[in-house]
Amino acid sequence: MTFLITYIIGVLFVSEEVFASRLSVSGNHFMLNGEKVFLSGGNLPWINYAYDFGNNQWAGVKSRVENQMKMLRDAGGNSLRLWIHIQGETSPQFDNNGYVVATDRQGTFISDFKDMLNLAQRYDILVVPTLWNAAVDQDRSHRLDGLLLDPRKLASYIQIVLTPLVKAVKGHPALGAWDIMNEPEGMIKPGESNPDPCFDTTRLQNSGAGWAGKKYNYQQMLRFINWQADAIKQEDPQALVSVGVWNPKSNTDRFSMVDHYKDSCLYKAGQKTMGKLDFYQFHSYSWHGKFDNVSPFLHQWRDYGISKPIVIGEFNRLEGGGRTMNQLFDYVYRHGYSGAWSWDLVGNGPDQRGGISHIKDYTGNGKIAIDI
């Protein structure tokens, strides 16, 4: 009996430790290993745009990615955002009708991805993989286009690639969260009237949305996100999911705007109950030296009326409203946000690692030094 009780307690203890070792959300902040943490780091975001994973491409960039991870760790950072498919240039593999038929032509995609996470774990870095990109349109083969417009093609991606990928890396300690898409507003049609506020974009008229091509309405875009978020959580219920929006204007019900990414809007678009976001991710750049009135650099977390953590997922000094990197990182940390990822470590690494180092010992809004 004593052995049985000891065994049961031991199993429960191990299970708790495994659970606690993963990044999680508690209210408006992140937790890791039982402690509140602040995600500090940057966007890698690629070595060769759309050519880093699959088809034996990882082997050619691994050493450069490792160098970036090491420099980030040495600067005191704990997380990074890394782009994956982008617009389907080399992964996944599509047939001539636009259906996904394999992860990639040579079958190395999942092993490449796992090796990248193993590398990140070595440097105590949490990785947030960004699956798709809508900020630049080079979808000449209409691969991403098919996934957004045709639910059957999206289902083929989920079945052939996303679900097996999530299953393969489920519970990996270096997997911080999944970022479904970078800046969906790049391809949103602004100025479209709809009786449902979730899909109405009249308030985004003349906002800058649609700069990469006015291709999709919000119902299509939100279904794309809802289905993938749901698939991730079906396979791994503890996984965190987010989307990197170009500006808080599309992600808050304050400031006379509409939060298109709230739970109810995502469900309306895709009807998948688990297809929701665990935290929000705002991007913010100044224009002609000034931030707009919705910018997180002019507000604090609570001003957006959101009960989830908010990470400032892109910003830099060149379009930082005249502030230094130290000031930008300091502002994000001290105003209730849950993370700061500068853009980008490859192009402006020394400058940005300086800002990361500036806050590395802060603890008032969560610790930054982590052990995974």
Q: Contact, 178 vs 131, CB < 8 A?
A: yes
Supply 164's token pair: 């097996």
CA distance 199 to 80: 31
Strand arrangement, sheet containing 24-26: 24-26, 29-32, 35-37
DSSP string, 149-189: H-HHHHHHHIIIIIHHHHHHHTT-TTB--EEEEE-GGGGB-
Please report, for residues 102, 241, 290, 349, the alpha-carbon distance to residue 130 in angstroms, rounded to integers and kept in the order given: 19, 10, 28, 20
Q: What residues are annotated to the active site?
A: 183, 314
Supply 45's token pair: 């975001």
CA distance 203 to 222: 17
DSSP lists the bridge partners of residue 102 as 93
Q: Is 266 exposed, middle or buried (0-12, 13-18, 19+ CB in 10 A)?
A: buried
Please report, for residues 26, 72, 94, 121, 315, the alpha-carbon distance to residue 30 in angstroms, rounded to integers and kept in the order given: 6, 20, 37, 18, 21
* Pairing assessment for the beta strands 35-37 and 29-32 based on DSSP bridges: antiparallel
DSSP string, 42-77: EE---SSTT-SSSTT-HHHHHHHHHHHHHHHHHHT-
First to last CA, the chain: 35
CA distance 7 to 23: 27
Length of the chain: 372
Residue whose entry in the numeric block shows the structure tokens 């009135």: 293
Query: Which of 16, 154, 28, 137 lies closest to 87 in space, CA to CA?
Result: 137
Q: Contact, 21 vs 372, CB < 8 A?
A: yes
